[in-house]
Amino acid sequence: MPLIAFNMTSDVFVANREDSMKQDYLKHDATGLAGLVARGEVSPSELLDTALELSAAINPSLNAIVVDGTEAARRNIAQGLPEGPFRGVPFLIKDLGMAAVDFPSNNGSKLTVNTQWPQDSSMFARVRETGVVTFGRTASPEFGIGPATEGQLNGAPTRNPWNLDHTPGGSSGGSGAAVAAGIVPAAHGSDGAGSVRIPASSCGLFGLKPTRARLPSGPFAGEGWAGMAIDGFITRSLRDSASFLDACKGPDLGAPYDAPAMAGTFAQAIQRECKPLRVRYCTTTLAGESIHEEAVQAVLKTARLLESLGHEVEEFVVPAQLRVNDMMHAWTKIVACGTALSVTKALQGASLKRGDVDGVTWGAVEFARDVSGEAYLDAVGEVHAFGRRMAGLLTEFDVLLTATLASPPVKVGALKPVNEDFWDYRNGPGGVFEYSPFCVVYNASGQPAVSLPLHWSADNLPVGVQLGMPFGADEALMTLCAQIEQAAPWYTKQQEIIGALFPAE
């Protein structure tokens, strides 16, 4: 910690020490904060107090943290934290899934308020062993539906620290907003159609969706959305994500399948030299439709960067046989059925009333009533067929570069979950897939994909770029990301908004 002058009254000394600690906290990633704890320069309790102070100051504007777990956090510190890579670092988990005994969840819905868990999920057990101090849950839309974090349970929408009029994305929007604002350096997210990458793009952060089954999902959940959903992390730095992924990777007991074995670790991957790769970039959607000019500029800027780093870079021509819209239509049926199942389980035999859920959820349940068993299985088959088409595509080159979203983050309310026509909400004009046409591609294929914070719009809104690679190529993707982070570091830009929110006193 910085030296502090001692020729002052004790009250002034304390105030200056607290501000100095806050500014140090805001400048470090999770790895850096853990280093301070390991060297005895700061205690876990002091870091937690700082995180709580920051939350108290900014969360009323963001509505990012919606479940308070401070009591459990202090108890866990008192009982002794595991000696993991992030010992003492404040952390937040998403209010969706992630079963944790100490942290009841709501899943963004009035139907599942204060859900208690009899044991920790495999994922949370591994997160806990990293030594983090979890102190709450972050906002999610109801049952994770949608790329904006809005819904009746949490009252006000969750807002983007870069501009409060805009969404931080979804469904891990609360996590994205909390990390971007500096409340925590990293947070848990989950990704069934881009729900880690969308907030990462919208908030200027790093977000990786690893290969399907790279991370555990049990014991209370199996395949989320027919295998399209997976947990993950939203971080400011690449090294933080690498350490979290290393700590959590691998199947849980009874998992039906596992991801291909890795040659090493994520941490080792970011230390390797990146070999020249065949990169193809796309400035339209993968259905050939136009996207926002800022998204185009983000892709072109990244393409030039990759070319300067020695990679073979060419424009990608979307093949007609990819048929991405067929996959998206199948995805709509699968997610409607998954949402209806969640609602049915929550009701426990009671009848669903319109005011019980958001309009989109109501619409999903109604839509699912008309999806027969045969139609559901046909939809799963179409998603798997699309995965095979993507696998074939990525034998022709190594990396597909696109925007993460088709535009900068939209304004709050643009994707408010009130449309009871679920098909229209997803597939219609101004709907979800028009805004987020790229992310779900990799949920369907199971391939790894990442959003990198490499561009900001003329209005100073983050615009992420997405890199996708073949199934199982997580290490190669991380190695490429490390090369990019070194060539075009994003730390200073991230600190710009944190410094604006919390100027030094």
pLDDT digit string, tens, across residues 375-420? 999 999 999 999 999 999 999 999 999 999 999 999 999 999 999 9
Domain limits of the chain? 12-252+269-501
The two tokens of residue 491 are 């730390």
Can you say whether residue 205 is alpha, beta or left, with left for phi > 0 and alpha for psi between -120 and 50 degrees? beta
Q: Active site residue: 55, 195, 237, 243, which one?
A: 195
Q: Is 205 exposed, middle or buried (0-12, 13-18, 19+ CB in 10 A)?
A: buried
Q: Residue 222: what pLDDT? A: 80
Q: What angle do CA 475, 218, 112 make, to 5 degrees?
A: 120
Question: What is the rounded distance in angstroms from the CA atom of residue 123 to the CA atom of residue 275?
Answer: 32
Active site residue 493: no
Q: How far apart are CA 412 and CA 163, in angstroms?
A: 10
Q: Look at residue 5 and tell me whether its pLDDT is greater than 80.
A: no
445 given a catalytic annotation: no
**Section 50-65 average pLDDT:** 98
SS3 232: strand
171 is catalytic: yes
Catalytic one among 94, 209, 249, 333? 94
Write the pLDDT tens digit of every residue in 35-44.
999 999 999 9
Report the predicted TM-score, pTM, of the whole model to 2 decimal places: 0.96
Catalytic pick among 140, 171, 217, 451: 171
Q: What average pLDDT does range 179-199 have in this prediction?
A: 98
Q: Above 60 in pLDDT, residue 325?
A: yes
- The topology under which CATH files domain 12-252+269-501 is Amidase signature (AS) enzymes (3.90.1300)
The pLDDT tens digits of the residues spanning 255-270 come to 999 999 999 999 999 9
Q: Where are the alpha helices (DSSP H) in 63-196?
A: 70-79, 122-129, 173-181
Beta strands 278-281 and 312-315 are parallel
- Contacts of 280 by beta carbon, 8 Å cutoff, 6+ apart: 313, 314, 315, 316, 397, 399, 400, 401
